[in-house]
Structure 1
Amino acid sequence: MTPNPLKTQADRRKERIDDLAATAGGSPSGTVTGAGEIEESPGVSLIASAWRRLRRNPVFLVGAGITLAFVVLAIIAPWIAPHDPTQGLLLDKVRQQSNPIPGSEPGFPLGADNRGRDLLSRLLVGAQQTLIVGVGATVIGLVGGLTLGTLAGAFGGWVDSFIMRIVDVMLSIPSLLLAMSLAAVAARPSQMTVILAIAIVEIPIFARLLRGSMLAVRSSDHVLAARALGVKQSAVVFRHIIPNSLAPVIVQATIVLATAIIDAAALSFLGLGNPDDRKPEWGQMLGASQEFLGDHPHLAFYPAACIIIVALGFTLMGESLREALDPKSRR
């Protein structure tokens, strides 16, 4: 029995298409079942497609792991800290001339500071204060930026020009210098002044990003169709433009959170943060270690390492999210 040449050619064509799809590293939207026959499969949303790539991205997994560990540790820190971070349990071993910093001993693996307080306990509780400052500043900056960006992107005209000129002036000043100036204006430094100073610095970043995203979405086909159907301007903005413009802003918030933690540490290091050391914070601990940096560098190393690792985790996660949600970087 001789084989059917038409059927053999169709089978070869099908195998060739499947090989090309596999080589390209993507999955076809349909499966070829025969000559001229395609079995369609349901489409995948942008979020689902991004999640598929993120699950296989080791950079995202590392960043998400660091971030999750930091958040969990900050939440449970008061319960797992071995000692009260405000009590000088080793104060009797502090000698200003011979032994200003007690070393490690049983029950105190990292030693104590110049006031005899357990260094490990202060690092653990300090994670909670650092998280509060970073998240608080990012949330306030995000809300303010969304408000200004929505006004500029929705109304346009003189409203857009006025808001963007203010944003340009704020962006022209280095962020840390602007935060220092705002924190120095406060009559009494506190944790709230640090949060507000960093939040004000972040507002123009979110405002410009949302405004640019809204301008791109405003000229899309579905927005033009909604306007052609007579949909009200407010409904077009809040139902069509803003929901489709938030993805890059959310990704930027993840990256800005890392910057907020670093800026908060810098302000505390310069003495512009919360002066009450009964609530330890990593930047505050870093600033207090300057006096003993030459002979006891570990006092600065531990809080600095915590700041670097946490900021790295948020940065890796944010950059991975940005790459996964960017249509140009899809494979």
Structure 2
Amino acid sequence: MPLPVFHIVDRFDVPWSGSALEALALHDLLRSHAMVRIWSALPPHPSYSPYPIEVIAQEAGLFPRGGTLVLVGGYYELGEWLQIASPDRIIVKYNSFTHLRFFAWLTELKDAGLPTPHLVFPSKRLRDAVAMEGMVEPSPIDLDRFRPAGEDNATRQYTVGRLSRDEIHKHHEDDLSLYKMLAFDGCNVRLMGGTCLAEYLLTDADGIELIPAGAETPEEFLHSLDCFFYRTGLFEETFGRVVLEAMATGLPVVCHRRGGYTEWIRSGENGFLFDSQEEAYDIIAMLRRNPGRSRLIGQAARKTAEDLFGEPGKSARRQWYLSG
């Protein structure tokens, strides 16, 4: 019996994009059970070089044909190739707050006479925002890659950190003042994807490391921390993959109460959600004073990740994609 065919499409031009990583995770989930091809609407960034990504070029006859077409993102133009792709089944994994483009996708699919797409969202928050039916599927995390460090960090300087793309809109305007307060109190603050803050830091930079995105692997960076902090500015996370990666490594996470990741954090049990700057500062200070509680919160965070992304969950998701 021939293997089912899947064509996964995203735009891989932005390094370390959560959407792109979600598309690649789907490839990893299905590749042993299906023939999977990955397509990019634009030339892919070198950070994705380990994967066999093909660039769509309709004039050269290079585009998805037949099989199951999985469109990931919802924030870019699809192209005329869609008219002649002839997929048997379509899945749209919508993962951004670009609703006009998303509904334009649905219109294009309908006008092309293609099958009605199955919709997949990374959070209930995003599904509710577009008021449509669909499956909620958290963006998969590799539990073997993102696992607790397994070493005692009690003797090092207490380290708070954050990880994201190195773009200013990924940061909140109040973050720097919080980092300065933590550094003044003797914490080490590590920000990978934080070089965009350099011009705003100016003075009082002692104890604050601004690290280019990709300078360390995400798991290496997370293993250097005692606490993970996350908040964004105008940009709202539909899921917040980095938060769940931090939880998988057994870190206590302290996150703003705004974003898809909040659906998996039970504040005070497997992480913390805050509303104000003062609350964030107090939570981090409490965790620093109470390593025993910090450890218990981190263990509960890891358990949450295992429940979401362990083998039973992976098998159920794989079966859904393969069921046709």
Tell me the TM-score normalised to structure 1 length.
Answer: 0.22
Which one has the bigger helix percentage? 1
Which one has the bigger strand percentage? 2
If asked which structure has higher relative contact order (CA below 8 Å, sep 6+), I would say: 1
Tell me the TM-score normalised to structure 2 length.
Answer: 0.23
